[in-house]
Structure 1
């Protein structure tokens, strides 16, 4: 196409000639005359095609080594065409080559000649570039661009730089990478907790630090930040460590919750990319999360935002820019994002086979990720032995291979029943022949045992049968884990909101028992009672979380008292049902007496 454009053939003409032979297109462009010179490095039928393109008196200069023709044979087959094969170094010699280069330089400087098109490829795509070169699908030069290194005398910008992880990374860059200039970005700047102390520590290590208060979700602010970096110490690296959590199960997600999490992670990453795309950076590191790769219950919005960061790193690398997205697991150091996690939360994560990373381990993984050369890596404290003891269908696909490898060796392999809480048990057979009370006790113990495990309790007695799951400390994430564990143990497909629809262990046990023995009539006597008890349990949970004023409380209390009065009444009650037929003729005293009796 570049050659055709040089010859004045526009795109419309080329499109209309798409089905024509390329030789015909060129002959048409030259008025049927042909071209004067072919500089050839092809072989086989391509050499013959080039010879046919030459006009009378034309010359083919053969640079290739694999298909050398004899000049006499060429002259006999292609009348009026001159053919010469040459090897530049021995044929011309260094003096002649020097003279040619000087002449060419003068012609280029005068504008008589223009350089051939140049297209660069990152060194990581050398295989693609060489394949294109070998197939002669290019015009001009293909150049492999060696990536820039992080310049110790340059500046590294860290978003979230005054936070826990940002501070650890900043200090590591100064100590291990000898980075001398840092720009630490956060929304509060120097007013962020510990920011001034961090700057002092880094200064003592010999670094020059600037702490900037910038909203990285503002494209103009990010552009001004990058443009304002000292040109004597140009930007050499970017580390995007900002993030925001707003956990909730999918059904509780709202546009507002998604927007908050997306802005801090994904929008800010896009602004950093746009503001630095024209710069020759040594690194562009995005702190992503394993939630976007492995999944994490209750973190749909966070997973989506981090998946965008993973895709952005791939996009940058495809464009020849540096980019790596590090999908982190949990760090042990408490940060603003993870400070709310309790011991039970950490224990719950450890049971999934992913442990918290220590500081030294995390920083070593950061170094490895930058040096790895890939665009997306997962850096997490994965425990293969724990994975090997978990049901395969409960693991992310990316971790199943690790579990299979360890499990196959027999080392540390737990039985499926022990790991999954009895998921291989035939509950129908196990419950057959038991009394109603024994069945309920067995399933109740199953529920209490898994609930205690999820909450991090060693003793099943920590979960009482009539205690509300919410009062015990369950939230949306732990409720999902309880659902998953019971589903694996029973083989049932259970609803995501199971722990909220059946908010007590006893109520949940009744629900599971009904699902496990749907055709058994042993508990038929309770069929009419169970729905009422379930509704009362849900009402109990609703009232426990209800926020209302005194008037509202009184209205609810009167309504509940009225329901209880009706339930406690019976057909043999002396008072009998209230007769409202004489209401129109009742006196004021009789009206008040009726209200007091019906709405105590």
Structure 2
């Protein structure tokens, strides 16, 4: 196990020949980001499996790590990148069933994989009118912000407060011409102080806040190996810090809706957009946590494919999305989704893709909706990784006549004083517990840390007869799963490492 931010990470990688499993533990995002930059600069990682265990991570950190890791697979030749969230990692195969990135959650001995499942429509919406409630729209002058205003106006909202960076916007937008009251506030949505001041003014001068639309965000596309802390912070600020500020400061308001405009980049990654992927994934994770906490109003996240005619990015971004199998969305399609979304009363996360190429050629205004759902991969008698670590240290201590606490997890078995016969005996015991253990395993993985990282990629023999994969059904009236997540849109081709 290597701690993220370890300055000797590159040296450790240089000293390793052949296939490598690297377990990188992160307690904060800046340290992890620095380690990922080290990996992104290497050209010899084609046979490397990267495990990112997050035993006690907050939803925000888990989202940051997940988004950055998904993007990492688009920029490197890493064989597998797996984020492991939840309890201490259980030993087993962490590879992705589709593609090279997987986000797992471990709880009660069960591994759950993020997955997407198609739905035909969003849930039924409420027909209640908002009365004098105010809709606050951060990033309200952008394409999705303006489309949200139009959808809200169509649902009966008449009072709007727009937050944006520009001091002199082209205001008011045509989408809000039917509004009874509309005000614009120049505000850094990433600053809780500025957001607090704006919201206090809105409450006192316009009315009670009933909806929050978070459409703020910026791009600063650059490959991971060339990013610096300042560029990352600039991208995280409006999307992640803005979502946190808007949520923290409206928990006591009579909200009916809190809608985050996210991106599929946060779910599936994209080359050159590691910071943007991390920001969106973390903001999405905060929204899912908000829903679990039963905060006021429905907590919704729409993760958009490229939005043509006003989305963030340019023609090259749209082309990359198409190559990856993620059809772009037109503004008309976005508006049709938002017309439903602004009146929802059920929390959830949806990815929105445009029409497949064949349907687009036929001018069919189709969209593909996928709701985040849960795929449980249950392995019976799964062995906690920490139990295996304790077993190895105990066996080594027994051979040496020492206490297990005295066994270093990073020192070489040979440096500890173990001989070839003792290592072969320990390898035999591990072979009886795991499939795929070779007699020379301890000569290839020569420390407790290195050996445990390797064993984490194998299947315990007690778990060889695994329960078949199950997926939560998405059907009318079905209970919403407690944990939602997403890796690839259904029926989409697997992106190549060069896509994006």
Give TM-score scaled by structure 1 length. 0.38
Decide which structure has greater strand share: 2
Q: Bigger radius of gyration, 1 or 2?
A: 1
Larger RCO, structure (CA 8 Å, separation 6 or more): 2
Decide which structure has greater helix share: 1
